[in-house]
Amino acid sequence: MRSFNRPAFHGFRRRTPLKILLLLILPVALSSLVGAAPVQDTPMARDPAQFHMDRFTNNPYTGTASCLECHLAEAQDVLQTAHFKWSGTMTQVDGVEGEIHGKRDLLNSFLIGVGSNEGSCSQCHIGYGYVDDTFDFTNPENIDCLVCHDQTGTYFKGEDGLPDPGVDLNAVARSVGLNGGLPSRQACLSCHAETGGGDNAKHGDLSSDLVSTTKSFDVHMGLDGQDMLCVDCHGSNNDHGIGGMSLHSVNEGAMSQCVDCHEGGVTVIHDGTTAATLFSAGRHRRLDCRVCHIPQIAKAVSTMVTWNWADAGQDIDPIPVDPVTGRETYDKNLGSFVWQSNVRPTLRYSNGMWQRMIVGSSDRSNADPISLAAPMGNYTELDAMIFPYKKMTGNQPVDEMNNTVLVPHLHGLANGDNPYWMFYDWSLALQDGAAYTGQTYTGSHRFADTTMLLSVNHEIAPPADALGHNARCNDCHSGAPVDWQALGWSADPMAGGTRVTEVVFFDGFE
């Protein structure tokens, strides 16, 4: 399963949460009071690292119940989070604002959908035993505390979201107080890098390399750079809600933006640099920072850019391997893939809202290709900005008659008798999936081309590698791979391109 090389421990981080500071300071203050009663031996009473080390050296870890003896209130918080529920109140998905949706019913270009496949998908769920829709999301004993708080780098999950049998749970439990209890990069990446088909397959900017990387690959997470944790930007709301993007679910914490640390505005930030002239006279003000500062993704580990489900089910031997990336390009269960390294992100305008396909809500389309996820907005909206995205293409099963993008039953017998990965019969697998999700399957299907855009936020390059460094206009113009028509131009404006509609505002060349 997953295996990462864990970076050396560097002590407490710059942003020690208030709760943890209180855990460390409050007992000392209490013990100094005259006549104070002895403080109970809990993590709140003394150093959490030493407490957990002693506790699980002298007592066996018996599952989440061991954590709940001291952390019941924290567990109740976790039960309310999108990380645990895989759903939340939509705020930035068009047409479903105020409704409850999330990972559980969003369609995607990778493993398509969760419904009927929970036993496989739950290897990246922060709970135990999520195998079907009877899972109790209100029971705190179903929370997997260790998957986030492990500091040993040895914890990983297996079938049905349970700990792999080879994991020393006592050793993991002894470690959770280290580093102030903050989730390590490795803990976050064990799911977020591996999701959707393998290391860096899905996002393109989240790979196992970021566990122990250099600033040439990411200036924030590089061990020789800022050596930041994921939670330094994806902050908590102190109730275990995590800051994030609203593409998949909901932002429940304090999601830091570039300007939270890099203050002064684009002109001040670039004053005195070789890029200063790019922002004179109001030019390029519609570009988000990431457009220039993430010139490439998948720099250390390749990413998947195409997944063709129509090719699945064949017995191919030997398995073909991409000669450039060294990754297998076929799997009988999954179909064929295209992998790429050093991928140039796709640029699109965004006004903050998303178009998403959702099971039972917006899962039908006769478009070619079908867009499963895309930012909304265009250059005529003055508050819309240009952002970078990873573009994913492929094909997947769609009902021949009603154009429903279908969720197949892929894994296990818990939610149907005909999982595709057992019998390789698409019609039966789609029948199972529809019976589980409530989608309508007429009995005939086709494979439709699909696209999906995923936001790009990591692998920030050093300044010298940013687009436009040394005023290099040709990084984006004069033949550079930019889809100008998608940005509202007839062609590259430096080559005579014009706006498709006359709207006057600062956008680099007006």
Helix segments in 357-509, DSSP class H:
420-423, 426-437
* pLDDT average, residue stretch 123-138: 96
Mapped onto helix, strand or coil, the DSSP state of residue 496 is coil
Rounded Cα gap, residues 443 and 440, in angstroms:
9
For residue 73, pLDDT beyond 80: yes
For residue 18, pLDDT beyond 60: no
Please, which pLDDT band fits residue 40 given cuts at 50, 70 and 90?
A: low
* pLDDT average, residue stretch 362-367: 97
Rounded Cα gap, residues 63 and 56, in angstroms:
12
| Predicted model pTM | 0.88
Torsion of CA 22, 28, 30, 34, to 10 degrees: -160
Please, which pLDDT band fits residue 2 given cuts at 50, 70 and 90?
A: very low
Q: Are strands 445-455 and 370-375 parallel, antiparallel or unpaired?
A: parallel
Give tens-digit pLDDT for 323-340.
Answer: 999 999 999 999 999 999
Please, which pLDDT band fits residue 431 given cuts at 50, 70 and 90?
A: very high
pLDDT at 43: 59
For residue 69, pLDDT beyond 80: yes
For residue 452, pLDDT beyond 60: yes
For residue 349, pLDDT beyond 90: yes
For residue 14, pLDDT beyond 50: no
Rounded Cα gap, residues 5 and 9, in angstroms:
12
Cβ neighbours around 188 below 10 Å, total? 20
* pLDDT average, residue stretch 373-392: 95
Torsion of CA 285, 288, 289, 295, to 10 degrees: -110
pLDDT at 1: 36
Give tens-digit pLDDT for 246-291.
Answer: 555 566 878 899 999 998 888 889 998 988 888 887 889 999 999 9
For residue 86, pLDDT beyond 90: yes
Mapped onto helix, strand or coil, the DSSP state of residue 128 is coil
For residue 26, pLDDT beyond 80: no
Please, which pLDDT band fits residue 159 given cuts at 50, 70 and 90?
A: confident
Sign of CA dihedral 125, 126, 131, 137: negative
Rounded to a whole number of angstroms, the CA Rg of the chain reads 24
* pLDDT average, residue stretch 469-478: 92
* pLDDT average, residue stretch 449-467: 96
pLDDT at 246: 59
pLDDT at 243: 83
Cβ neighbours around 436 below 10 Å, total? 19
What are the tokens at 359?
């099971």
pLDDT at 237: 78
